[in-house]
């Protein structure tokens, strides 16, 4: 069984073609626990909380790895992949759906920013200081070192990663070839 939040008709169609059962969860149910949404625990009587979640998400329950991989492959082939996915566990079944979705989004942003920094650091291997004005190269080099050091700290703060990536990207854009 899969819980779908904000899923497109294409996603629903693919799941139906694969004979995978799913349930659509609307925004008014974000305060309910995962266990109650999957009907494995009693209805939750959680206090209301305002969530404003605009992204698609999939939560899997009792779905084997091969099925998850098949679903992911089919969604990607249809250009309908859902980046934010989770699996129901004994540790998260008492979480409100909204809280889980916010946590998934936080992790998603974290990994996006780490990948962005890695791409920028790897691109630096193609650059040579002889081709750029010294003052701009020094700025770029400082941003590079800062981004590298941030990656070494294994920070879990996606905002820290974003700032380092933005600084490195800005310094790289500021470089210009010597004439």
Which two tokens mark 166?
């933005």
DSSP E strand boundaries for 39-173: 57-60, 85-87
CA 115 → CA 50, 79, 120, 122, distances in Å? 31, 21, 9, 10
**pLDDT tens per residue across span 21-40:** 999 999 988 998 898 899 88
Torsions phi, psi for 22 (to 5 deg): -145, 165
**pLDDT tens per residue across span 101-138:** 999 999 999 999 999 999 999 999 899 888 898 999 99
Which pTM does this prediction carry? 0.79
Which two tokens mark 160?
């820290």
d(CA 69, CA 139): 43
């Amino acid at each position: 069984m899969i819980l779908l939040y904000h899923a497109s008709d294409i996603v629903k169609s693919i799941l139906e073609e694969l004979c995978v059962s799913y349930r659509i969860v609307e925004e008014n149910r974000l305060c309910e626990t995962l266990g109650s949404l999957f009907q494995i625990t009693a209805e939750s009587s959680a206090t209301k909380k305002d969530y404003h979640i605009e992204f698609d998400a999939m939560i899997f329950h009792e779905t084997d790895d091969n099925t998850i991989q098949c679903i992911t492959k089919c969604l990607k082939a249809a250009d309908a992949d859902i980046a934010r996915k989770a699996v129901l566990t004994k540790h998260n079944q008492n979480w409100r759906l909204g809280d889980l979705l916010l946590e998934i989004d936080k992790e998603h942003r974290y990994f996006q920013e780490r990948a962005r920094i890695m791409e920028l650091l790897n691109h630096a291997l193609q650059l040579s200081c002889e081709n750029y004005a010294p003052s701009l190269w020094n700025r770029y080099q400082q941003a590079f070192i800062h981004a590298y050091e941030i990656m070494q700290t294994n920070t879990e703060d996606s905002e820290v990663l974003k700032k380092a990536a933005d600084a490195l990207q800005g310094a790289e854009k500021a470089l210009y070839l010597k004439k």
